Amino acid sequence: MRAMQIPSDHPLLLRIVDDLAEHGWSQQNIFLPDALTRALATECRQRAAEGELAPAAVGRGPFSQIREGIRGDRIQWIEPGQVQACDRYLALMDSLREALNRGLFLGLEDFESHFALYPPGAFYLKHVDRFRDDDRRIVSAVLYLNDAWLPEHGGQLRMYLDEGVAHDVVPTGGCLVVFLSGEIPHEVLPATRDRLSLTGWFRRRGNELF
């Protein structure tokens, strides 16, 4: 599979930029081709079968802890050059980064992402994605990798929007959700089957002095 970078003025990317500017979040139900979604799901399952996914922690640095009563997913970070499917996804997200910078002047410098697998019954309680002591995460992006997912399988991403409105996203394969990391609380509801995603963050330069 070849690289998948597209122009930063592609209509799909501009729609995401407009949504973020107007609402602070965007949901694109058909973001990736089926073949790439399946390839990423296969890679996630293979890493899980080989024991490469580890329990996710809450908190950061020396204060991070494994607390399954708060979150129960297993994760592994992805890096360029590992597999073609991941490289195609990272190239596409770099196009989105350029579109966000051009349209919203966010100063985003990079994108970090990991596979996340929630086994049946696992969840992640209500939270925001930006750490209190680290303001680098600006925009969150979650791509779902689940084939033939039905609403009754559960696992929805529940976002808490303005005026007490809650919006549920069914984690259907190929769907991408993008939202402002520090402004939209959200949670992951329990599911009845394995729930796969690529979860990531567009980041700007931090305030640390070196």
Strands 195-204 and 108-118: antiparallel
Task: Give residue 1's pLDDT.
Answer: 42
Please compute the mean of the pLDDT values over residues 187-199 and round it to a whole number. 98
Question: Integer distance in angstroms from the first to the last C-alpha of the chain?
Answer: 40
Q: What is the DSSP letter of 57?
A: P
Cβ-contact 184, 167 below 8 angstroms: no
Reported as a single tens digit per residue, the pLDDT across 150-183 is: 999 999 999 999 988 999 999 999 999 999 999 9
Task: Give residue 83's pLDDT.
Answer: 96
Task: Give residue 5's pLDDT.
Answer: 72
Task: Give residue 37's pLDDT.
Answer: 98
Count Cα neighbours of 44 within 13 Å in the Cβ-side half-sphere. Answer: 28
| Distance from C-alpha of 206 to C-alpha of 209, rounded to nearest angstrom | 9
Reported as a single tens digit per residue, the pLDDT across 82-108 is: 999 999 999 999 999 999 999 999 999
| Distance from C-alpha of 80 to C-alpha of 68, rounded to nearest angstrom | 29
Between 56 and 133, name the one with better pLDDT. Answer: 56
pLDDT at 32 over 50: yes
